Amino acid sequence: MARRPLPRILSSGNAQIARSREIARTAADSATDVLHPLITITRGLRRLAATARAKWAATPKERRGPLLILVAACVLVVALVPYGPLLALVSLMGAAAWKGRERPAVKTGPDDAETERLKALYEALVPYFSVPEDPAPLFTHGGDWSAAFSDFAFDDGRPTRLRVKYPAYFTDGEPAARARIEQLLHAKSGRGREYLFDWDEEANQLEMSVLPALPTTIAAQRFVTAPGETVLGFTDAAAVQRTVPVLTCDGPADAPPVLWRTGPRSTEPHLLVVGQPGSGATTLLRSVALQALAYGDVLIVEGGGTGEYACMTGREGVLGVECGLAGALTSLEWAAHETERRLIAANRARQAGHPAPDDTRRPLWILLDRPSVLGHLAAADGRTDPQELLQVPLRHGRAAQVTVVVAEQFDTVELLDETVRSHTRARVVLGPASPRQIAAVLGAEPRTTPTPVVPPGRGYARLGTGPVLRLQVPATPDPYDDATSDPHRQAVLALLPPRPPSLDDDPGPPTESLPVIRVAPPAVPAEG
């Protein structure tokens, strides 16, 4: 049976329909071009009306009457002014045209390069966030990355913020599993930046963000703190709940400090500082000494013998600056007897019902820089290791208002005495270090990724069992060093206590001076 041909109207209808659609589209575009000003003004009037309606709804009822009177007065003034209605109409049309203008489209999604970077991150996480038994895996090779990634941001093609949703069966409670994911994201997102990883175990989400560099513009100065509080440095604003006013190179500002509290009620009465050579450990001890001299006495024992504390020799409140083995042993032996004397005097006062004597309540700070060097010299000479003389101040220093600060380098930290390690619960790590090295000193790994290159004074701090905080030590260089800038030199010299009148004319550090120390009389044994 032969097929009948279709009617002509049906066979040629597609071409006519397409031609009609093209004519209609052209007419619509022409009408839009002609009526574009009217459309813009109409859109603007609608937005102005919506704004006025929202303002009226937000106005309290007791203020609507005066507002109506004010509007009526303005309308009357405009009506009485020559050409007032015309000017008001022109102003209204101008405001409507400005309000109804078309705004440029806002970018809402990643571009091609950013999409490729997100795909690469997604594919790299597949082996860690998927198992063969999962019937509906969130991470699969060639899968949809938008279901796993959200709230992302980029800077120069590298992610600065990324929220990752991972399966519930991932072992996010194990530090090793977390470390693998953090190392992978750090490597794929770009090295040389410090990333913060925030794990939300309840929601099975990981947020990665790039932390800004801590400011290095804060120099040594008199910080606003209470007695017994010492500023070790400054950290991120979200890590602490307090700020202190400081002076920076750019002017006054408020900075979040890392406060270390000492005294009888402190749970971390002693401090241990570990760092690489040139990382700023001596700078931190110098900063602590300047703050302690405001309300206490300081005894400094320098094992390196480089003269970094020569500017404090002979100052009021500085009991001594020792660089040799004999002077260090004598000073630390006196510190041990002084601790015992304070304990005996305070105990007698309590038994008699009297307050503790004033000389037992004045804080005494013992700063020991590089004790391993002195220990090596003592072992070669057959003498007592200086660290053994620290046992009494470390164990009983909190009750006697005696604080011990020890600084050592990474390559000799294993030479520290067990008493020093167990009683220095406040810890600071300065300079470039791996997460394993930081965890060995602080007892916990940081939540961020350490960078290989850091400025002097940059590191991490942990007070007792608290969180690991980023730290930037205030610039406190040696004022007698030729490489020190004049503003920093003047800042440190302004904080130093004055010398006695006999030493006021000394223009610089002594070349060969004997150690200066006030030795107290031997302790009197307590009566039975």
Q: Which helix (H) or strand (E) holds 377?
A: helix 371-381
Give the CA distances from residue 18 to residues 10, 27, 128, 185, in Å, rounded to whole numbers and listed in that order: 13, 14, 54, 53
Helix segments in 277-366, DSSP class H: 281-292, 325-352, 358-361
Crossing angle for the helix pair 13-34 and 36-58, nearest 10 degrees?
A: 60
Instruction: Match 């401090």 to its residue by tokens.
Output: 271
**pLDDT value for 150:** 85
SS3 category, 15: helix
Q: Which helix (H) or strand (E) holds 113?
A: helix 112-125
The answer to whether 322 touches 331, Cβ cutoff 8 Å, is yes
SS3 category, 168: coil
Record the pTM. Answer: 0.73
DSSP conformational letter for 2: P
In the numeric block, which tokens belong to residue 480? 């007698």
CA distance 436 to 316: 42
Residues paired with residue 159 on neighbouring β-strands, in sequence order? 154
Q: Which helix (H) or strand (E) holds 116?
A: helix 112-125
Q: Which helix (H) or strand (E) holds 232?
A: strand 229-234
Name the burial class of residue 337, with classes exposed (0-12), middle (13-18) and buried (19+) by CB atoms within 10 angstroms of its CB: middle
Q: Which helix (H) or strand (E) holds 28?
A: helix 13-34
CA distance 337 to 400: 11
Q: In degrees rounded to 5, what are phi and psi of residue 96?
A: -65, -40
Q: Which amino acid is at 511?
A: T
The answer to whether 364 touches 296, Cβ cutoff 8 Å, is yes
CA distance 8 to 10: 5
Count CB-CB contacts under 10 A for residue 348.
15
Digit-by-digit pLDDT tens for the chain (528 residues) are 455 554 554 445 556 666 767 776 776 666 666 667 778 888 888 888 888 888 888 888 888 888 888 888 888 888 888 888 888 888 888 887 887 776 655 555 677 888 898 999 999 999 999 998 988 899 999 888 988 998 888 888 788 899 999 999 999 889 889 989 999 998 888 877 889 999 999 999 999 999 988 999 999 999 999 989 999 999 999 899 999 999 998 889 999 999 999 988 899 999 999 999 989 999 999 999 999 999 999 999 998 888 899 999 999 999 999 999 999 999 999 999 999 999 999 999 999 999 989 889 999 999 999 999 999 999 998 899 999 999 999 999 999 999 999 999 999 999 999 999 999 999 999 999 988 899 999 999 888 888 888 899 999 999 999 999 999 999 999 999 988 999 999 999 999 999 887 644 444 444 433 344 443 443 434 433
Q: Which amino acid is at 430?
A: L
Name the burial class of residue 4, with classes exposed (0-12), middle (13-18) and buried (19+) by CB atoms within 10 angstroms of its CB: exposed
CA distance 193 to 210: 7
SS3 category, 298: strand
Q: Regarding beta strands 297-302 and 364-369, do their DSSP bridges make them parallel or antiparallel, or are they unpaired?
A: parallel
DSSP conformational letter for 508: S
End-to-end alpha carbon distance in the chain: 133
Q: Regarding beta strands 271-275 and 426-430, do their DSSP bridges make them parallel or antiparallel, or are they unpaired?
A: parallel
Question: Could you write out the DSSP letters of every residue in 271-286?
Answer: EEEEE-TTSSHHHHHH
Give the CA distances from residue 404 to residues 263, 271, 297, in Å, rounded to whole numbers and listed in that order: 11, 7, 12
Instruction: Tell me how far apart the 2 most distant CA atoms of the chain are, in Å.
Output: 134
Long-range contacts at 223-229 (CB < 8 A, ≥ 24 apart) = 223/257, 223/291, 225/257, 225/259, 225/291, 227/295, 228/261, 228/262, 228/263, 228/266, 228/363, 229/259, 229/260, 229/261
Q: Cα torsion for 145, 117, 190, 199, to the nearest 10°?
A: -10
The answer to whether 195 touches 449, Cβ cutoff 8 Å, is yes
Contacts of 490 (CB under 8 A, 6+ apart): none
Q: Which helix (H) or strand (E) holds 486?
A: helix 486-495
Secondary structure string (H, E, C) spanning 236-266: CCCCCCCCEEEEECCEEEEECEEEEECCCCC
Nearest to 406 by CA among 393, 398, 396, 487: 393
Q: In degrees rounded to 5, what are phi and psi of residue 408?
A: -145, 160
Q: Cα torsion for 77, 79, 80, 84, to the nearest 10°?
A: 90
**pLDDT value for 520:** 40
**pLDDT value for 53:** 87
